[in-house]
Chain A
Amino acid sequence: MSVFRQHSERGMGPSAHLSGRVLRAGIGGAASAAPLARFAGGGALSCRRHRGGRFRAAAAGFLALGLSMGAAGGAAAQAEPPRRVVSINLCTDQLALILGAPGQLRSVTALAQDPRMSVMARQAQALPANHGRAEEVFLHAPDLVLAGSYTNHATVDMLERLGVPVLRMAPATTLAQVRERLLEAGRALGREDRAAEVVAAYDRRLAALSPPAGPRPTAANYAANGYAAGRDSLSAELLEAAGFDHLADDLGLSFGGFLPLELLVMADPDLLVLARANPGAARAEDILRHPALHHLGGQQVALEDRDWICGLPAVLDGAERLAALRREMEKKPALRREMEKKPALRPHTDKEPALRRNRDEEAAR
């Protein structure tokens, strides 16, 4: 009983998550050992609280673990890294796959094994899949669960009640946050060195994007149901890094929203980044095949969801493709003139066949 009451009290307000057994995202380096020690203690506590026989065996395991971790985390700055990590969020799956030591990661979500959603599907397929349900996660007896901040609260709360430490990581919505999440996951996994390596490579690639100076063409991204990501999204920042102005910015979409097809056609962006349709039919995706889009004058590329659904170093793959497109646009004098004129509406009668061809190749790929 007390477990539940205590839990519901903790559930009030956002700051409540800072206490208890939840490791919050964005905790500084110096603090990293303390929460580990705290959740180790939580594990031991949970053992005392569970009176039912069913959980006793598992709880005993946590007690042992909790004690060992408590001992390690007591005075030393370096806590013992978790040895059985289960991830229940597509993005933390891939972070853990990049950073984790061999054998450290025990299970990832089934989404991470889907090559349409995940850039690390091959590596993920080597691990057992979970579907983010508390029961299957618990059966892996994890000493750390990685979850997203929007992961089903019931699941995360249940895991915490069972004494499993959970790290909730907020999704990265800027290129700077991609770095932060890498470092944060590195700390949680006890793989700071590996994280530093990955971040250094990421920084080098980001610096190498260097879009050409001068007028910036407008780009818009467009997905199922007419969803356009806004100014404060990772995809907007990627477009910006690749040398484009973001259409959602002009239209005042800050976080993203549903952009009527009419407004998109009227804005007539120089580059339209379309989401790739999923298998199986959905009326929501019909809009990506709408004839009006075929007649638009600007260039079009299709990006897979996996290219930027998560804030991973792989987002730079997409950015590099976009930057290459941008440099190509720079070479076309006709288009350049057009960009310099830059009124919102302009006739697209003199488009070069080369651009069309490029677009068709993109579509075919």
Chain B
Amino acid sequence: MKALHIGLGLSVAGLFVLSLLVGPAGIAAPEALSALVRGDGQTPVELVMREIRLPRAILAVLVGASLGLSGAAMQGALRNPLAEPGVIGVSASAALGAVLALQTGLAALVPMALPGAALLGAAVSVLMLHLLTRGAGTLELILGGVAISALASALTALVLNLSPNPFAVHEILFWMLGSLADRSFVHVWTAAPVMLAGWLVLLRLGPGLDALTLGEDAAASMGVDLRRLRLGLVLGVAASVGAATAVAGAIGFVGLVVPHMLRRAVGARPSALLLASALGGAALVLAADLAVRVILPERDLKLGVVMALLGAPLFLHLIRKNRSLS
């Protein structure tokens, strides 16, 4: 287990450095890395490294970890391998909250209103889903998620269509597929505190999730406060996914792919899966963000495209497996 965490951590570190070295400016690696630490940050190379590439790489780590962790926690708590923020509409609802905060001008007036509104959007959708599908099977969860996702996406598109800004309409794509292009430290500072708070809540759910594998009654008899666990899940997922979506748009499938790939390696223990999925999510989003920059450097290919190419086949495979089991 330790080895797995170390391995994942090393791959995150490696991809992070690689992410700093890829960009249209074509700065040589030694010069690029030394520009990160030396000088007063005023020369063009230092500006590119510190103000453009560094925040992008940091955001990839934060967003990936948030999504991976949230996916693992949701799958554990709902005991359903298809639960994932993107699939069940949490990301779309967070995007709606963020778009509302931006278009009403609230985000510019009140500090932290942007991640706050996204958190609220995400929390509402998790709560709705929880109430709708309590004790129900996979099918209801997915159907409910599809409905919430469609509704939130439609409202997001509506709000953007009503915006006085002529560019806002084109943002629909960003909010549905996500991108890290040209994000700055402003976005890092906006999202990081909320995301970190969400992580803390989610990481503490571990023991409760382990007990829950035995069923709700067994977990309750073991002294797990199920209401507290659900509250923690809602708040933790809402904070991490909300803040991540507020700055990077809705990036799907990370929370689905990563826990699935790592589940066997951690012995299917939900508590162990949490940290591993956070690291795995960070590595996956870093790699995907590298891929969009290497494949189509000029086009700002959306992250969601790469993730869906990886995630959708897996999703179909899981559904098939689910059906053959039942």
Which residues of A are interface residues toward B (Cβ below 8 A)?
224-226, 257-258, 260-263, 265-268, 278-287, 290-292, 295-297, 345, 347-349
Contact = CB atoms under 8 A, between A and B. Distances in A.
Contacts of A268: 44
Interface in B27-41: 41
Given A265-B48, A291-B186, A284 B167 contact: yes
A281 B163 contact: yes
B103 A281 contact: yes
Contact of A262 (B48, B168, B185): B48
Given A263-B24, A290-B51, A290-B182, A283 B43 contact: no
A266 B184 contact: no
Interface in B95-147: 102-103, 105, 107-108
Given A278-B167, A281-B163, A348-B43, 17 more contacts: A260-B25, A262-B24, A263-B24, A266-B45, A266-B48, A267-B44, A279-B165, A281-B103, A281-B108, A283-B171, A285-B165, A286-B182, A290-B51, A292-B48, A292-B51, A345-B44, A349-B42
A266 B163 contact: no
9 contacts: A261-B52, A263-B24, A265-B52, A266-B25, A278-B164, A280-B168, A282-B163, A284-B167, A347-B42
Q: How many B residues touch the partner, as a band?
A: 20 to 34
Contact of B41 (A260, A283, A295, A297): A295
A292 B52 contact: yes
Contact of A279 (B45, B164, B184): B164
A287 B182 contact: yes
B164 A290 contact: no
B174 interface: yes
Interface in B1-35: 23-25
B44 A265 contact: yes
A282 B167 contact: yes
B171 A263 contact: no
Contacts of A284: 167, 170-171
A226 B182 contact: yes
Contacts of B48: 262, 265-266, 292
B150 interface: no
B273 to A, nearest CB: 33
Nearest to A278: B165
Interface in B156-189: 163-168, 170-171, 174, 182, 184-186
Most buried by A among B52, B107, B170: B52
B25 A262 contact: yes
A291 B185 contact: yes
A152 to B, nearest CB: 16
Contacts of A261: 52, 182
Nearest to B40: A349
B44 A266 contact: yes
B47 interface: yes
Contacts of B182: 226, 261, 286-287, 290
Contacts of A267: 44
Contacts of B23: 260, 262
A280 B101 CA distance: 11
A30 to B, nearest CB: 41
Contacts of A280: 103, 163-165, 168
10 tightest Cβ-Cβ pairs between the two chains A and B? A280-B165, A292-B51, A282-B167, A284-B167, A281-B102, A262-B25, A260-B24, A280-B163, A280-B164, A282-B165
Interface in B288-308: 297-298, 300
Interface string B275-289: 000000000000000
Contacts of B43: 345, 347-348
A348 B42 contact: yes
A283 B174 contact: yes
Contacts of A286: 182, 184
Nearest to B164: A280
Nearest to A114: B164
B230 to A, nearest CB: 34
Interface in B198-236: none
Interface string B45-82: 10110011100000000000000000000000000000
B162 to A, nearest CB: 9
A295 B166 CA distance: 28
Most buried by B among A224, A290, A348: A290
A164 to B, nearest CB: 28
A291 B163 contact: no
Contacts of B108: 281
B288 to A, nearest CB: 19
Contact of B25 (A263, A290, A291): A263
A296 B47 contact: yes
A292 B184 contact: yes
A295 B46 CA distance: 10
Nearest to A305: B166
A225 B171 CA distance: 11
Contacts of B184: 286, 290-292
A258 B182 CA distance: 13
Contacts of B186: 291
A291 B51 contact: yes
Contacts of A345: 43-45
Nearest to B41: A295
Most buried by B among A257, A258, A267, A284: A284
